[in-house]
Structure 1
Amino acid sequence: MNQKRPNLLFLFADQWRRQAMGFMNEDDVITPNMDQFAKGSRVFDHALSCTPLCSPHRAALLTGRYPITTGVFTNCKIGAEIGLQPDEMGIGEVFKQEGYQTAYIGKWHLDVPEQNYEEEPESGARNWDAYTPPGPRRHGFDYWYSYGTFDQHLQPHYWKDSKEMIQVNEWSVKHETDVAIKYIKDHKDNGPFSLFISWNPPHSPYDQVPEKYKKLYEDKEITLRPNVSKGPFSAHTGEKLGGTQEELIEKTKNYFAAVTGIDEQFGRLLTFLEEEGLADDTIVVLSADHGDLLGSHGMMAKHVWYEESVGIPFLIRWPENIPVGRDRETLINSVDVMPTLLGLMGLPIPDTVEGIDLSQAIKGEDGIRPDAAFLACYPGRDVFLQAFEKAGLDPKSKGWRAIRTIRYTYVIHTGYWPDEKTVVRYLYDNQEDPYQMNPLEIKDPKEHEVAKQLDKVLWEKVKELKDPFTIA
């Protein structure tokens, strides 16, 4: 066993679904570096986003706490006072306290947009974007090269330690990888480091990807998933997005092209670690914040319980410490990542954590393996929040809650509007129906043995988290 304190390189892409890796044999995507990395890593088939939306997952990832607890139940956006509170204890704070060098590069999306407070912020941040100044809102990350949220992948911008915006004319993934390599080169001899990189692609707009990656798919035949409709498409939260299947194929090819570009940059980082003699002493994690439906079930984007939305990649490598192979038995939820990494690295896990330390399971030892993962989404669009405010009701009391086991998904959905009265319950057998096309609608969970068990688990979790969800 390696006695040296390991480094951590944690990479996560935005809106990148678990199916979009070549070795998974699901999406027709080209990822040679990921495929090779998978052969030397532990690959989790059941990694999940507890709330498949950017800000909620990020808050859960860093704190090990559910969105209902942190208050980051929807995206940090104009008109909503939602952001990760400075007093939340996150993984960055733990690393810093334990003497690690800490760094964050890329999309943050955990701060209240500056335009909630002033029309023309000095930083230049607009819409949902925000400059996060040095201090507690950076949650322990000392090196900072980041932005709030800004979906211009070919012309990104960043801030360091002042309000001066750094504007770049280069694909964000390539640029952020360059910055990361320089950071490691400059800091590798100063003690162990923990570096988080948040790539924004393959998040929409899908066409903002370098042409060299698009060309790989120009003449490539791709097969859409059996649950993809012909269009028009919508979001689960009600937005009508239109589009035909032909247009969807183009978007899907561009999405795959972005993933191939990410694969190339990921390969650069792996090669750099090898060349610098850091590979054996660095835990490398490759993941995402949530998936993308890409037409499945007639929908785009995320915010729904389907596997294309909640299923995320989770690959982890630590030579001689973590056994290589596919893990088909361990559920790993957003809230479990922080305590698991700290457990693996022998660092203290804060008492505030609600997730589970799965480090023993990851190391192939006898340890805790949860039977179920709790998933949830809440009304978060501006129109929903305004309607709940007008009605004097809590938006967190509605939406959907779900229990995901290795085999089943059980969901209760009460709608996103305050006056919706319909309650639907679905049970999916993901083993017999992997594309979730034939759910069993449950009228009374007491009349179905599996639904009865999962309904009990769901309501126990709702009670434990003091979740205001109700079907009354």
Structure 2
Amino acid sequence: MPWGADALKTISRRTALIGAGAITAAYGAYRLVRPGQAERARADLTLPSGKRPNILLVLTDQERARHLIPSTISLPHHDRLMANSTVFRNASTVSNLCSMARGIVYSGLHPQNSGLWENTPLPYSGGFRKDIPTLGTMMQDAGYTTGYFGKWHLSHFGVDDAVGSDTIAATFGGFGFEHTDQDRERDGAQHGWKYDPLSAASAANFMAEQKGGDKPWFAAVNFVNPHDIMFFKTSEHQQKTRLNDFPDVIMPAPDDPLYAKDWGIDLPDTFGDATLEGKPPAHREMQKVMGLALGDIPLDRTDYWRDYNNYYFNCLADMDRSLGSVLDALEATGQDKDTIVIYLADHGEMAGVHGLREKGGNIYRENQNIPFFIRHPDVPGGREIQALASQLDVVPTLLSFAGIDGPTREEMYPLLAGQDLSPALTATGTAVTDGPRTGTLMQWTSLIHMSEKSVRNFAAVQAASGPFAKFGAMDLREFFGGFKNRGHMRGIADGRYKFARYFSPFEHHQPATLADLSARNDLELYDSLTDPAETTNLANDLQRHGDVILDLNSQMNALIAAEIGVDDGSYLPGPSSIWTA
């Protein structure tokens, strides 16, 4: 049978209703702790006989879906991979911040259950739970040799912490990755330009070393770029208006001929904040937050914004070179016919569309729609499908490719929240309905990005010297005052409509009627069929669109129950009662 033959059959899946507190108990029955590793739940699997494919995962940072990048931007290795892949056009991030999104990819769980509900450099973020399986440990359980290369952002490392190779090896090893050659985090200013080629070279060496081995291998290659856009300096005004240099300094483009390229791309029609009229107030609050955290880029300075977009495109082109190095190495070692490649990003980039930049708590396509390609040696490539895909689906899909069938996955890893996408690779149609999903859940759980007040107070605490001074600088009324804003979000996309509700983190609730929705939420609804640019918020007309909203809200509540369990704010710091309406 060809590799992944079982994975290419439709497999029924039992949905588990879960709560964050049930995780350890659910895995406790079959925990096997291996010496020298963190105490994570392990599964004693009966492995399939015969040869199994190698698996190469490529995860990029802050990359929009390919169809949202101007076609004149040359990305030859993206195009090369897509020509041999099944491309999921309706792929979505779940949570638009690095740690949360990456935690989803590497656990198969939502932020409420992975522990990564906030970016890890922030001191109050909990970090990845130590009692749940990771993609690395699950692939080890499946009999794979594992390697990790590139950006991490799953632990409390600073953006450029040179913590040493021993610490990195121990940390990555605790997550189930036995091979790495790093000595630091790779997440700061110009780190994509500086480190992505090194990550590609390390991955190439790993693949060459594993050729002819008695076990299949799993390599996770994590490119930083185009994340370098976060620390791009457009002007001195931007530097002067920035609160501080957390988490790193801002810098102009590096002295590299590639970054001198001017693509001559005009700003899109949706550039600027005129299209924020009638939208949830959380969007303008995010506009303020990013201006304080990273420095102001005035919207009337279109020259700055052209530079910003041009730099973003060059970061993509730079990363494309590193992708090419990995694909070349795969072919040069003769393993391309033995290897499944899955490519995706953690989230997108707004780049001035709707007056916003970076990522954040919104459902706009530039932020939400990510590249998602699967190249399977047994499946003809060059095919684009509309089937919905979520980052949650990475773990069950890769386990399926590794020969771990549906019933075994459900028994050994009952809390996995995603779907096995492998049947979509061979479905005869290309419609949304030709995949296992009818909707994808989207959410925003960060606290630091809630309000301008929170960001200002956090900066004041950082500026203070010593623990007592920091305590004195903390103004809880200011920091927590911003939490009254409706800045947390739960949303759903079904392939045509996108619906989201924004609420205060103090008011976690599950609305079921239009009255409930209107009382405690700011609402957002787009029809991608009639308004692909997402300029008109249909939720402003409840009389006309109320039925659509109620239907989508009902689907979203069902997805929350199936994929998260109880969503009551208990994952946040402090007594759970303060987060529930």
- TM-score between the two structures when normalised by the length of structure 1: 0.83
Aligned partner of residue 441 in structure 2, secondary structure = strand
Partner of 2:377: 319
| CA displacement at 1:314 relative to structure 2 | 0.6
2:279 corresponds to: none
Render the CA deviation track for 1:387-444: whole Å, top value 9, x for unaligned.
Answer: 599869999996011011100100101256889x862111100121111111112465
1:122 & 1:221 partners in 2: Cα distance?
A: 38
Task: Tell me, yes or no, if structure 1 residue 42 matches structure 2 residue 98.
Answer: no
Find the counterpart in structure 2 of residue 401 from structure 1. Answer: 490
Aligned residue runs from structure 1 range 403-442, under 5 A:
403-415=492-504, 423-442=521-540
Find the aligned partners of 1:459 and 1:56 in 2 and give their Cα distance: 21
1:143 maps to: 179
Question: After the TM superposition, which parts of structure 1 deviate over 4 Å for at least 4 consecutive aligned residues?
Answer: 130-133, 207-210, 365-368, 384-398, 415-419, 442-447, 469-472
Q: Which has the higher helix share?
A: 2
CA distance in 2, matches of 1:178, 1:136: 18
The answer to whether residue 330 in structure 2 is matched with residue 290 in structure 1 is no
Pair 1:299–1:114, CA change in 2 (3 A): closer
Amino acid at match of 1:15: Q
SS of match in other structure, 1:286? strand
| Equivalent in the alignment of 1:118 | none
**Match of residue 229, structure 1, among 272, 284, 289:** 272
Measure, in 2, the Cα distance between the counterparts of 1:445 and 1:333. Answer: 31
Which deviates the most, 429-438 or 455-464? 455-464
Match of 1:256 among 285, 303, 313: 313
Partner SS for 1:2: coil
The equivalent residue for 2:148 is 104
Instruction: Give, in whole Å, the separation in 1 of the partners of 2:142 and 2:527.
Output: 44
Structure 2 distance, partners of 1:237, 1:289, is 23
Q: CA deviation at 1:210?
A: 5.7
1:2-21, aligned counterparts within 5 Å? 2-3=2-3, 4-18=51-65, 21=66
- 1:376 equivalent in structure 2: 443
Deviation at 1:171, TM superposition (A): 1.9
Change (3 A) 1:182 1:208: farther
* Alignment check: 8 A CA contact 1:445 1:451 kept: no
Alignment match, 1:187:
210
CA distance in 1, matches of 2:303, 2:123: 36
Change (3 A) 1:227 1:271: same
Q: Distance in 1 between matches of 2:273 and 2:71?
A: 18
Task: Note closer, same or farther for the CA distance 1:249–1:392 as it changes in structure 2 (3 Å cut).
Answer: closer
* Range moving further from structure 2, 98-107 or 388-397: 388-397
Structure 1 portions without partners, runs of 5+: 116-120, 157-169
The correspondence of residues 455-470 of structure 1 with structure 2, limited to 5 A, is: 455-464=553-562, 465-468=565-568
CA separation in 2, counterparts of 1:377 and 1:65? 14
> Which letter maps to 1:76?
T
TM-superposed deviation, 1:295: 0.5
Q: Is 2:181 the counterpart of 1:176? A: no
2:23 alignment partner in structure 1 = none
**In 1, are the aligned partners of 2:150 and 2:186 still within 8 Å (CA)?**
no
Mapped to 2, the partners of 1:407 and 1:107 lie a distance apart of 33
3-state SS in 2 of match to 1:200? coil
Aligned length: 442
Equivalent position SS for 1:150:
coil
Deviations 1:73-106 (A, max 9, x none): 1111232142111221112111112221100011
Q: SS at 1:143's partner residue?
A: coil
| 8 Å contact kept, 1:379–1:417 | no
CA contact (8 A) 2:90 2:389 kept: yes
1:148, 1:60 → 2: CA distance?
Answer: 19
Residue 123 (structure 1) aligned to one of 127, 139, 163: 163
Label 1:337 to 1:210 Cα distance change in 2 as closer, same or farther (>3 A): farther
Q: Is the 8 A contact 2:486 2:505 kept in 1?
A: no
Counterpart Cα distance in 2 of 1:175 and 1:248: 30
Letter of the 1:75 counterpart:
N
CA deviation map 1:112-171 (0-9, x unaligned): 3479xxxxx99389xxxx9545168731110124444531335x8xxxxxxxxxxxxx72
Report what 1:242 is aligned to: 296
Q: Relative to structure 2, which stretch is displaced further, 449-458 or 381-390?
A: 381-390
Opposite residue 314 of structure 2, the aligned amino acid is A
Q: Distance in 2 between matches of 1:471 and 1:135?
A: 35
> In 2, distance between residues paired with 1:451 and 1:335?
24
Is the aligned partner of 1:358 residue 2:358?
A: no
The 2-side partners of 1:343 and 1:38 are apart by 21
Matching of residue 309 in structure 1 with residue 358 in structure 2: no
After TM superposition, the structure 1 = structure 2 runs for residues 24-63 of structure 1, keeping only pairs within 5 Å, are 26=70, 28-63=72-107
Structure-2 separation of matches of 1:338 and 1:62? 7
Counterpart CA distance in 2 for 1:396 and 1:103 is 42
Change (3 A) 1:38 1:463: closer
Which residues of 2 match residues 83-94 of structure 1 at below 5 A? 83-94=127-138
- CA separation of 1:370/1:396 partners in 2, compared to 1, >3 Å: closer, same or farther? farther
Greater C-alpha radius of gyration: 2
Partners of 1:390 and 1:265 in 2: CA distance = 41
Instruction: Please list the CA deviations of residues 337-388 of structure 1 after superposition, one character each: whole Å capped at 9, or x if unmatched.
Output: 1111211331253212011112111232697521111100023218379859
Among residues 322, 333, 337, which one is paired with 2:390 in the alignment? 333
Change (3 A) 1:89 1:393: farther
* Aligned partner letter, 1:10: L
Give the partner amino acid of 1:378. T
How many angstroms apart in 1 are the aligned matches of 2:201 and 2:495? 38
* One-letter identity of the residue aligned with 1:402: G
Cα distance, 1:301 vs structure 2: 0.7
Q: C-alpha separation between the residues in 1 aligned to 2:231 and 2:334?
A: 37
Q: Secondary structure at the match of 2:366?
A: helix
Which one of the candidate residues 200, 205, 210 is aligned to 2:231?
A: 205
CA drift at 1:247: 0.7
Aligned twin of 1:166: none
* Structure 1 residue 28, shift from structure 2 partner: 4.3
Which residue, out of 214, 220, 223, partners 1:196? 220
User: Residue 234 and residue 263 in structure 1: after superposition, are their counterparts in 2 closer, same or farther (change >3 A)?
Assistant: farther
Matches of 2:531 and 2:60, distance apart in 1: 28
CA drift of 1:186 comes to 1.6
Which of the two has greater strand per residue? Answer: 1
Q: Any conservation in 2 of the 1:114–1:131 contact (CA below 8 Å)?
A: no
**CA contact 2:142–2:402 (8 Å) conserved in 1:** no
Query: What is the letter of the counterpart of residue 310 of structure 1?
Result: Q
| Range moving further from structure 2, 347-356 or 333-342 | 347-356
User: How far apart are the structure 1 equivalents of 2:580 and 2:547?
Assistant: 21
5+ residue gaps, structure 2, are: 4-50, 233-251, 275-283, 459-473, 509-518, 570-578
Q: What percentage of residue pairs aligned between the two structures are identical?
A: 23
One-letter amino acid of the counterpart of residue 12, structure 1: L
